[in-house]
Amino acid sequence: MFSETEKETTKSFSWKNELKEFISAAIWAVILAFIIKTFIFQLTYVPTGSMIPTILPNDRVVVLKFWYKIKPIERGQIVVFEPPDSANSPPFIKRVIGLPGETLEIKNNTVYINGKPLKENYLPAKMEMEPFGPFKIPKDAIFVMGDNRQHSADSRYFGAVPIKNIKGRAVLTYWPLNRVKVLR
């Protein structure tokens, strides 16, 4: 009825082989997921309104973790970071305003970097800000602020963020679906 080749094929198709293949595939899937989440990207939930209008409360964003390994931090980028001196706090999301070694000052509702006004096209037209500084940003840190300046706990309150605390760059909102967009 079966040839010898067909009998061997039937024998080799056993539940033990299928189970071994399934376990092997599951192990590789876990390893790959760990590598992706640890080194490549993560999905982050934004619980507050500190980045309105760019990012709304309850938005979910994609964070590229490896970004700053290949490119330098630039002013205007949105970063996710561990807040200084907040051991049990979830990561924060804010915009990079000041870079290492710069002097930042806020006066007349305008941010000045090294004495020059900063153009911030992403902010609403009328943005009230308390005077601040001048503040010299340490060489190993950045100064971050939320786009919703009146309702943002940021570097004006907790100081410069050490570069080592940066988890990655927020590049995309992916939820809710009607708010999917590339972050600039």
Question: Which residue in 7, 37, 69, 94 is the catalytic one?
Answer: 94
Which residues partner with 182 through β-bridges? 172
Peptide bond connecting 138 to the previous residue in cis, omega within 30 degrees of 0: no
Stated as kind and residue range, the H or E segment containing 157 is helix 155-158
Q: Specify whether 50 is catalytic.
A: yes
Where would I find the beta strands (DSSP E) of 87-175?
Answer: 92-98, 103-107, 110-113, 116-117, 132-136, 141-145, 161-162, 166-175
Q: How far apart are CA 11 and CA 82, in angstroms?
A: 56
Candidates 3, 7, 50, 119; catalytic one = 50
What are the beta bridge partners of residue 62?
43, 172
Active site residue 94: yes
Residues with catalytic function: 50, 94
